[in-house]
Chains A and B, each alone.
Chain A
Amino acid sequence: MTMESSIANPDMTEHGPHHDHKPSGFMARWVLTTNHKDIGSLYLLFSFAMFLTGGAMAMVIRAELFQPGLQLIEPNFFNQMTTVHGLIMVFGAVMPAFVGLANWMLPVMIGAPDMALPRMNNWSFWILPFAFTMMLMSLFMEGGGPNFGWTFYAPLSTKYSPDSTAVFVFAVHLMGISSIMGAINVIVTIVNLRAPGMTMMKLPLFVWTWLITAFLLIAVMPVLAGAVTMVLTDKYFGTSFFDAAGGGDPVMFQHIFWFFGHPEVYIMILPSFGIISAIVPAFSRKPLFGYASMVYATASIAGLSFLVWAHHMFTTGMPVAAELFFMYCTMLISVPTGVKVFNWVATMWRGSLTFEVPMLFAIAFIVLFTIGGFSGLMLAITPVDFQYHDTYFVVAHFHYVLVSGAIFSIMAASYYWLPKWTGVMFDEGLAKLHFWCSLISVNVLFFPMHFLGLAGMPRRIPDYALQFANVNAIVSIGGFAFGLSQLIFLVVVIKCMRGKGEKAPDKPWEGAEGLEWEMPSPAPYHTHLTPPEIK
């Protein structure tokens, strides 16, 4: 269809019979859109805006921690910064970025014309700006915004929280509704709209990992909604779910929260596994090693994620039997994760590797995510967790898996598919600069945190003992450098969006495989109007 016309005669696309039927006008094109590519772009742009917002808060945190003592901000504002930084990065940056990638790529990858529920798709995106505006506005309310940590443990969030807590609760409700609708859409699309011949075991791994992620989402986001609802009624309506005086139990909050929270951390990493499993074979010019084992490994990680929540709570005074159960289940997760890392390395083994920017990010992901995995294994060991709990070691661990893991995979995916989205090649020099600056600064930022944590520096405190001063200064410098490096990415993306750059061929990466590379770049507004043939 549009493929031939746009390549043979680019002018034809504007005036010929095959033009894209894009709605005209900002309202119709972006606000009312039901097109999966437009909604995908909206999600991606929104998540990048949130990434910069949450990043700015991280800069505030690192500026305060540059020196011991309190110099820039009040402790209560520091608490609001750590809380809202966490909430924004989890619910505003990482999750919407993956949903954006899913919107853009899933229908294209499985040969579907659009997502299965396009109107709901529009709704699930447009809830998000309102949710985050509400949450950010609560920072300016009397008494301040949420200051109880992104985990909003009771009684911090019930007894001692600011008046704006109701706004926080409703914002989380909205984010949850958005994610649940997105997840239902993904499942229905993958189950119902695959092109004929696209059997389950032929699905690209990004599709597989998203299918499993979507099931995790519909299983645990409602539990989060329940938890915030209980916080709401405890604080405002006199219930005692978490109030010991009324027969409740504050430790129960932690159980309910982490029953959501642990699957949530896999929600933020499983799509990454899919991305890396697409990029590594493309630049190794070899098929992915162990496709089926990748699928089973992803599914078993998802299953195990429901059995490990209490490893976040080793120090709450659990019986030894429970601590051992959760310790061994947690360690078990490293087996399927190890299978994945092994498969990626085996895919690269004796491949004809080239190191374009997506591949650089993918390799950095494999190395740095594995470091984060190893520190996770250390944290899983119950007796030593008593030392590491609530220290910067934990901060180092989850930033290695979320920043140099999830965020790096999103960067890799963006560079990998930018030519397909925008139709132009990105500025390779700038992109490489972005990669190397990010790689070096992310390690200067997070690696020394391991040592701070082992030496006993507690997290979420605006001040620290003098002996941590030098290392904190280095960490802060790494933080500022990492933050600035992301502005390079912004420049690269804006250049591509404005069409500045070499025209991208249909398949800009020699070894890439998949239906998305069999259509022109940029991908036409409507694709797969007739199902493609799957060999």
Chain B
Amino acid sequence: MAQTKPLVWTLSAVVVAMFGFGFALVPLYQVFCEITGLNGKTATSASVKPADYVDRNRTVTVEFITYLSPGMQWQFKPEVQTMKVHPGEIHQVNFIAHNQAGSAQVGQAVPSVSPGQAAAYLNKTECFCFNQQPLQAGERAELPLRFFVDNALPAEVKTLTLSYTLYDISASDSAG
């Protein structure tokens, strides 16, 4: 049975490779979502790309929504609900966070854009969602978001909805 061993090793290598492939799906999925904007994922770091020009002929409505994850005892609201912007124009919106829990907590806001295909065209030059937000009990903070809509935004998109879900990550704060 001279041929048995090489075949067994080859098949075992396939098994190990497929186990690795399962984990490789994680970064592949992130990259795929970032390129295509699937799932409304936006960039996780500040955009350094400047706006090409300001397109005064076009107006896009940007809506802001906030959610609190279950158990999160904060108040978390944008200063304005909607904004009419021209593509290329830089705007700032402040979100007000107020820790109403009895203890210090660390919050992490996770953004999502709808419709998903527009996610890649919402550029954030500054966002509180890039960082964790530690707040003492009763502390209140103004969290700034600076963004512009890319000129290449598909014409059929007239309204963008940017939603933030705020999670309590106090428990895993030290881990990451």
Contact = CB atoms under 8 A, between A and B. Distances in A.
A195 B165 CA distance: 64
Interface stretch (A55-63, A251-259, A373-381, A429-437): A251-259
A71 to B, nearest CB: 30
B78 to A, nearest CB: 19
A188 B110 contact: no
Interface stretch (A223-231, A333-341, A446-454): A223-231
B21 to A, nearest CB: 7
Given A238-B172, A238-B175, A218 B15 contact: yes
B39 A218 contact: no
What are the nearest 8 A-B pairs in CB distance?
Answer: A226-B22, A245-B167, A222-B19, A222-B18, A223-B22, A238-B175, A184-B11, A244-B110
Contacts of A319: 36, 38, 116-117
Interface in A237-268: 238, 240-241, 244-247, 249, 251-252, 255-256, 259-260
Contacts of B165: 244
Given A116-B1, A184-B11, A226-B23, A245 B18 contact: no
Q: Tell me if B's interface is mostly helix, strand, loop or mixed.
A: helix
A97 interface: no
Interface in B122-176: 165, 167-169, 172, 175-176
Interface stretch (B2-10, B55-63, B80-88): B2-10
Nearest to B11: A184
Contacts of A218: 11, 14-15, 18
Contacts, number: 99
9 contacts: A184-B11, A184-B12, A218-B11, A218-B15, A218-B18, A221-B18, A222-B16, A244-B167, A249-B39
B99 interface: no
A223 B18 contact: yes
A259 B39 contact: no
A220 interface: yes
B26 interface: yes
B25 A255 contact: yes
B29 interface: yes
A219 interface: yes
Contacts of A117: 4, 8
A249 B29 CA distance: 9
B105 interface: no
A515 to B, nearest CB: 21
Nearest to B169: A245
Interface in A317-353: 317-319, 322
B73 interface: no
Contacts of B108: 245-246
Contacts of B3: 191-192
Nearest to B5: A188
Residue from the set B16, B26, B69 with the largest chain A CB neighbour count within 10 Å = B26
Contacts of B7: 187-188, 191-192
**Most A CB within 10 A of own CB, among B4, B22, B33, B165:** B22
A219 B110 CA distance: 34
A232 interface: no
B47 interface: no
A225 B22 CA distance: 8
A44 interface: no
Contacts of B92: none
Given A218-B14, A249-B41, A319-B38, 11 more contacts: A117-B8, A188-B11, A191-B3, A192-B7, A223-B21, A226-B19, A238-B176, A244-B167, A249-B29, A249-B33, A318-B38
Interface residues of A, number: 38
A413 interface: no
B15 A222 contact: yes
A418 interface: no
B170 to A, nearest CB: 11
A402 interface: no
Nearest to A177: B15
A245 B167 CA distance: 6
A135 interface: no
Contacts of A226: 19, 21-23
A372 B54 CA distance: 57
A102 to B, nearest CB: 16
A90 interface: no
A186 to B, nearest CB: 10
Given A218-B15, A222-B16, A252 B29 contact: yes
A282 B137 CA distance: 78
B116 A219 contact: no
Contacts of B117: 319
A105 interface: no
A180 interface: yes
A260 B16 CA distance: 15
Contact of B26 (A188, A225, A244, A252): A252
Interface in A202-237: 218-227, 230
A391 to B, nearest CB: 25
A525 B39 CA distance: 58
B29 A255 contact: yes
Nearest to A252: B29
Interface in B27-83: 29-30, 33, 36, 38-39, 41, 44, 69
Contact of A252 (B16, B25, B172): B25
Contacts of B14: 218-219
- Specify which of B12, B17, B18 lies most central, judged by the most chain A CB atoms within 10 Å of its CB: B18
Contacts of A219: 14, 18
B39 A317 contact: yes
A220 B1 CA distance: 28
A74 B156 CA distance: 50
B11 A241 contact: no
B18 to A, nearest CB: 4
Contact of A246 (B12, B25, B169): B169
A223 B19 contact: yes
Contacts of A221: 15, 18
Contact of A247 (B1, B22, B44, B168): B44
Contacts of A244: 110, 165, 167
A251 B39 contact: yes
Given A187-B11, A238-B175, A247-B44, A116 B4 contact: yes
A93 B40 CA distance: 41
A180 B16 CA distance: 11
